[in-house]
Amino acid sequence: MSHIKQQTIASQFTLEGVGIHSGYTSRLTVKPASKGGIRFKRMDIDGNPEFPAHLDFVQETDRGTNLGVGEVRIMTIEHIMSSLIASEVDHVLIELSGNEIPILDGSFQPFCRAITAVGLRQLSSDVEVMHITRNLRIECDSGASYRVSPCSNLQISAQIEFTHSAIGRQSGVFEINPNTFGSEIAAARTFGFESDVEYLKARGLARGASLENAIVLDDTGVINGPLRFKDEFLRHKVGDLLGDLALIGKRIRASIICEKPGHEGNIKMARFLRDKVKSND
57, 91, 126 — which closes off a domain? 126
92, 126, 160 — which closes off a domain? 126
Handedness of CA 155, 80, 14, 7 (dihedral sign): negative
Please give the tally of structural domains in the chain.
2
> Could you give the CA distance from residue 177 to residue 86 in angstroms, rounded to a whole number?
6
In the annotation, is 263 catalytic?
Answer: yes
88 with 34, same domain? yes
What CATH number corresponds to the domain at position 47?
3.30.230.20
258 with 139, same domain? yes
* Alpha helix ranges (H) inside the chain: 78-86, 109-118, 178-180, 197-202, 232-245, 263-276
85 with 176, same domain? no
Q: Which residues contact 8 (CB under 8 A, 6 or more apart)?
A: 32, 33, 34, 89, 90, 91, 92, 120, 121, 123
> Could you give the CA distance from residue 134 to residue 150 in angstroms, rounded to a whole number?
6
SS3 state of residue 266? helix
Q: Which of 21, 79, 91, 263 is catalytic?
A: 263
103 with 65, same domain? yes
Classify residue 225 by its DSSP letter: -
Structural domain of 144: 129-280
> CB of 63 within 8 A of CB of 206?
yes
169 with 144, same domain? yes
141 with 268, same domain? yes
115 with 138, same domain? no
76, 104, 126 — which closes off a domain? 126
257 with 138, same domain? yes
135 with 271, same domain? yes
Q: At what angle do helices 109-118 and 78-86 cross, to 10 degrees?
A: 40
Could you tell me the pTM of the whole model?
0.96
What CATH number corresponds to the domain at position 211?
3.30.1700.10
SS3 state of residue 206? coil
Q: At what angle do helices 232-245 and 263-276 cross, to 10 degrees?
A: 40
Compute, in degrees rounded to 10, the torsion defined by CA atoms 167, 172, 175, 176. 20
**pLDDT per position in the chain (281 positions), as tens?**
458 999 999 999 999 999 999 999 999 999 999 999 999 999 999 999 999 999 999 999 999 999 999 999 999 999 999 999 999 999 999 999 999 999 999 999 999 999 999 999 999 999 999 999 999 999 999 899 999 999 999 999 999 999 999 999 999 999 999 999 999 999 999 999 999 999 999 999 999 999 999 999 999 999 999 999 999 999 999 999 999 999 999 999 999 999 999 999 999 999 999 998 855 43
